[in-house]
Structure 1
Amino acid sequence: MRLFTAALATETNTFSPIAIDKRAFEASLHAKPGQHPSTPTLCTAPITVGREVCAREGWTLIEGTASWADPAGLVAQATYEELRDEIIGQLHAAMPVDGVVLGLHGAMVAQGYDDPEGDLLARIRAIVGPDVLVCAELDPHSHLTAKRAAAADFFVYFKEFPHTDFVERARELWDIAVRALKGEIKPVMSIFDCRMIDVFPTSKQPMRGFVDNLTALEKSEPELLSLSVVHGFMAGDVPEMGTKLVAITNNQPDMGAALAEKLGRALYDMRGTFMVAQVDEKAAVEAALAAPKGPVVIADVWDNPGGGTAGDATVILAEMIARGVTDVAVGTIWDPIAVQICFAAGEGAVIPLRFGAKSAPFTGQPIDAQVRVERLVRNAEMKFGDSFAPFGDAAWVHFDGIDVILNSTRAQSFDPSLFAALGIDPKSRKILLIKSTNHFYDSFSRIASEIVYCSAGKPYPNRPAETDYRKARRDIWPMVEDPWA
């Protein structure tokens, strides 16, 4: 057997002002064939797992390029086409192949392309023909379009949010692919449109129980190969935005369709109950101050670089400064220029510094402070599950009892190791201010005395019924009260 694998992924917030070009991929991950590290990243686990599987089976694995850019705005058309054509050329050179196993995100949008993944998959299908297996692992915060469904045999999506299971799901993807290639099964994908868009953290009920039920069904139904919820991505203004339910069966399309609809309607019945309650910046700071001990984690949930925002909002920090709060560590605020200034000044320097709130309206005002540059780190990174997430050159600055990490590569706050990377002990602070919607939960919940979810400013279009969509469908909840009418 000869298998081809590659990865091309980013998550596009079409409302974000931060354009993506080739440099953004190179800053995060751009690995030529055979150069992908042994440690997987969020959307490239099919490559590292594929190495293990093909070695075990005695099959040949031909690796293409793996590219990942941290979430932001639209990808430049030339950049997408260059990265796409690189993979397409590698596949042409690898032919003939028995299967194509990809790592994708599913929410990429490029200038001129509402559905880059559909475009890539359709081109791959045209090369390999109708009988070669084509499959992919994807992030659930994505758009499942008719074009990509028609081009692939099946998809497996992460079940967990936080996405702690991306390696496990890659193993599931490869397991189905191997069994199919050996002729043991015939995977058939059934898709149900839930006619909604929502946010589905699996760290709390009711989504925790829903996902546990999916896993139990997979184990109890012999002909059921995989179940996935495609959460959808509300910051992507594309025609097929929305939540879907995916069932993969062993050549049982009627069974898959019925199960997908049953589960999809059950999910719809729980709409609006999934997301954790959020408070504004004043209530968040008040709650943190009232806590008997620390560290209290305040999550700035909508200024989340993992959702394509800049990660430079200062609304909560400004509230803390106004109230004279101390014993605070902030991780992080994206400001490459401020980082450059700190590196030029050097460790130990005391300088006037303006930082933050430069990317978009409704993110607060820049902070002006006399700061001490405590620590400078090149190419800093933090843990994220079995992987590492870079956050670029970083500077730890201190002023008025507050520590702030400034970073040059946007990244959400996945893990407390982001503080340790700069020499800050996160457990020693009363308050930790981080930027993430829910990916932080698995790791930060282990050290937090309390977690406060804060909605501050408007850096992210988190109210779909009020969002100024131009392309997204309007026939789903909450844009309409009853999409089934």
Structure 2
Amino acid sequence: MVRTSRLAGVGCGTLSGVSTGARRPRVGIAGISLEASTFSPALTTTGMLAPKRGQEILDARPFWATGGSLAEAADWVPVMQARGIPGGAIPLDDYLSMKAEIVSGLAAAHAERPLDGIVLDLHGAASAVGLDDLEGDLAVAVREAVGGDVLISTGMDLHGNVSPRLAEALDLLTCYRMAPHEDWLETKERAVRHLLDRLALPAEARKPAKAWAMVPVLLPGEKTSTRLEPAATLYRRVAEVAELDGVVDAAYWVGYPWADEPRNHAVVMVTGDSAEICLRECTALAEEIWKRHEEFEFVAPTASLEEAIGLAVASPLTPYVISDSGDNPTAGGAGDVTWSLARLLEDERLRRSGKRLVYASIPDAGAAEAIARAGVGAHVDVEVGARVDSRLEAPVRLVGEVLAVVETTEGYADTAPGNLETVVRVGCVDVIVTRARRPYHLESDFTTLGISPREVDVLVVKIGYLEPELFEIAADWVLALTRGGVDQDLLRLGHRRIQRPMYPFDTGFTFTPSAVLVPTSGTAR
């Protein structure tokens, strides 16, 4: 069925303007994608973001890689895409250099032969030292470089932020509808298909109306998982609104709570050909979120670390998983906070229980290299961690046997290509020490190191909510409210610059959601 928000014959995914033999659109690709905690002393350098250029960018996404469903749908002009594991803010000079490359590359491509559209691949929670609203700054610069007629689309993380100037600079905005983000690739493709669909329309009909509504709520992802209410229902509503006649897309950004900028708060956007419907549905979604904002709860039982250890020791279920959430590298933590590890190594209850615990992980390049030089079977005495974030605990001493040394060539790490990963057994605790910071989400992340996560008694992972494979493996689990740059207890962090009042920093205040139309043409300022 053809949606009335588009011209007849141009349905979502149809790309009829391309398939009928019309000139293929010329589309630039660029972006910077990062989730960055301003409460962490860590920095994310250009090298950590591993910029891709040219064909590398296309190869990274199956839908526009060679043979992909959209490979021939446009003349793609890939400029530069930087994407990295969440971490600290980007040094300003690094950001400005990447921004200059993106802007000059798109401007040169546009001057050579005009671009019809741009896919600006963003996360929504990147930060640069001393600069507010990195995504807004980049989007405005891109818009100024190519002018107001070029259509710009983005597919973002629902934990990102959408400032008014970002909303104005772009034409098509959407975000994930699942947390954990099992739909991330689907969302990225949806953003591209929206762009191609609109480019198949006459030029005067391409730019949609955009309704934007702020909601004064800022919550961690672990309280907004779509595995439970109210997020499950709210995101179903988002999908329903997106299917209405007159609507192109609907999105609800939870916002990123571990950065302290005025843009950090929840946002709803609805885009489409009917400004009236967009305003109405955007306001209604914002009203529903605000109505239910006090219902959000953690995705799992929570406890202090001491309580979590007690629960794990007492549980007959294995593996028992503990989320060491305060230093979660996939939320922006430095990854090398040793506070939890120090207490695990000292805990007499764990020692007496006879249970085996695996701790994933501590990044420390020097320690990992020393462990690797000693080799499997050797006894080592090394200090690990707290090289970046030592505010809570000093480096921890590991005295034990080396169980594994593996050079990995794949993985979600701060460096590319690959990583050095080692395992040291200290009493009943097996500690994973790595050259570069990385998360442990997959069963294969452990089996590569000779660890069967299904067979250990206790698995402690630096993570928030469990990613799908860990969730399936866990016989039981608890979210430990530990300290670090992505502390789940937001009130402990010391926000100073977010807009107030803001829940949960403030309670008992009244708010009436109201969507506004964002300008749809011209250069954003």
Asked whether the two chains share a fold, i.e. TM above 0.5, the reply is yes
Q: Distance in 2 between matches of 1:55 and 1:73?
A: 34
2:233 is the counterpart of 1:209 = yes
Report what 2:201 is aligned to: 183
2:366 is the counterpart of 1:337 = yes
Report what 2:95 is aligned to: 80
User: CA 1:420–1:115 in structure 2 vs 1: closer, same or farther (change >3 Å)?
Assistant: same
1:226-279: per-residue Cα shift (whole Å, max 9, x none)?
A: 221111111111122101111122x11221122112111211222242323410
**Corresponding letter in the other structure for 1:52:** G
Report what 1:235 is aligned to: 258
Contact map agreement 1:381 1:418 (CA 8 A) in 2: no
Q: Distance in 1 between matches of 2:121 and 2:439?
A: 21
Shift in Å at residue 463 of structure 1? 3.7
Q: Distance in 2 between matches of 1:157 and 1:376?
A: 39
Report what 1:113 is aligned to: 131
Number of equivalenced pairs: 470
1:64-107: per-residue Cα shift (whole Å, max 9, x none)?
A: 11211322222111110111111112112211100001211111
SS of 1:227 mapped into structure 2: strand
2:269 is the counterpart of 1:246 = yes
Contact map agreement 1:198 1:271 (CA 8 A) in 2: no
Q: Distance in 1 between matches of 2:94 and 2:390?
A: 27
User: CA 1:37–1:408 in structure 2 vs 1: closer, same or farther (change >3 Å)?
Assistant: farther
| TM-score, length basis structure 2 | 0.83
Report what 1:261 is aligned to: 283
2:392 is the counterpart of 1:371 = no
Shift in Å at residue 382 of structure 1? 4.4
2:494 is the counterpart of 1:476 = no
Report what 2:20 is aligned to: none
Report what 1:70 is aligned to: 85
**Corresponding letter in the other structure for 1:130:** G
Shift in Å at residue 222 of structure 1? 2.4
SS of 1:411 mapped into structure 2: coil
* Match among 432, 436, 442 for residue 409 of structure 1: 436
Q: Distance in 1 between matches of 2:365 and 2:58?
A: 26
* Match among 158, 161, 165 for residue 140 of structure 1: 158
2:452 is the counterpart of 1:430 = no
Q: Distance in 2 between matches of 1:371 and 1:37?
A: 45
Q: Distance in 2 between matches of 1:366 and 1:247?
A: 48
Shift in Å at residue 362 of structure 1? 5.8
Q: Distance in 2 between matches of 1:342 and 1:93?
A: 49
Q: Distance in 1 between matches of 2:375 and 2:101?
A: 41
State the percentage of identical aligned residues: 23
Contact map agreement 2:38 2:89 (CA 8 A) in 1: yes
User: CA 1:451–1:472 in structure 2 vs 1: closer, same or farther (change >3 Å)?
Assistant: same
Shift in Å at residue 204 of structure 1? 2.0
Unaligned runs of 5+ in 2: 1-24, 513-525
Larger Rg: 2
2:321 is the counterpart of 1:300 = no
Matches within 5 A, 1:247-396: 247-249=270-272, 251-272=273-294, 273-276=296-299, 277-321=301-345, 322-323=347-348, 324=351, 326-360=355-389, 363-379=392-408, 381-382=410-411, 392-396=419-423
Q: Distance in 2 between matches of 1:412 and 1:102?
A: 26
Q: Distance in 2 between matches of 1:138 and 1:49?
A: 20
Contact map agreement 1:475 1:483 (CA 8 A) in 2: no
* Match among 221, 238, 242 for residue 218 of structure 1: 242
User: CA 1:232–1:312 in structure 2 vs 1: closer, same or farther (change >3 Å)?
Assistant: same
Contact map agreement 1:330 1:434 (CA 8 A) in 2: yes
Q: Distance in 2 between matches of 1:332 and 1:483?
A: 43
**Corresponding letter in the other structure for 2:505:** M
Shift in Å at residue 181 of structure 1? 0.5
Report what 2:30 is aligned to: 6
Shift in Å at residue 429 of structure 1? 0.5
Matches within 5 A, 1:447-466: 447-466=473-492
SS of 2:303 mapped into structure 1: coil
Contact map agreement 1:54 1:61 (CA 8 A) in 2: no
Q: Distance in 2 between matches of 1:114 and 1:479?
A: 21
User: CA 1:333–1:380 in structure 2 vs 1: closer, same or farther (change >3 Å)?
Assistant: farther
User: CA 1:203–1:362 in structure 2 vs 1: closer, same or farther (change >3 Å)?
Assistant: farther
2:480 is the counterpart of 1:445 = no
2:178 is the counterpart of 1:123 = no
Unaligned runs of 5+ in 1: none
User: CA 1:459–1:65 in structure 2 vs 1: closer, same or farther (change >3 Å)?
Assistant: closer
**Corresponding letter in the other structure for 1:455:** L
SS of 1:170 mapped into structure 2: helix
Shift in Å at residue 132 of structure 1? 1.2
Q: Distance in 1 between matches of 2:44 and 2:501?
A: 30
Q: Distance in 1 between matches of 2:448 and 2:392?
A: 26
SS of 1:428 mapped into structure 2: coil
Shift in Å at residue 37 of structure 1? 6.8
Alignment RMSD, CA only?
A: 2.5
| TM-score, length basis structure 1 | 0.90
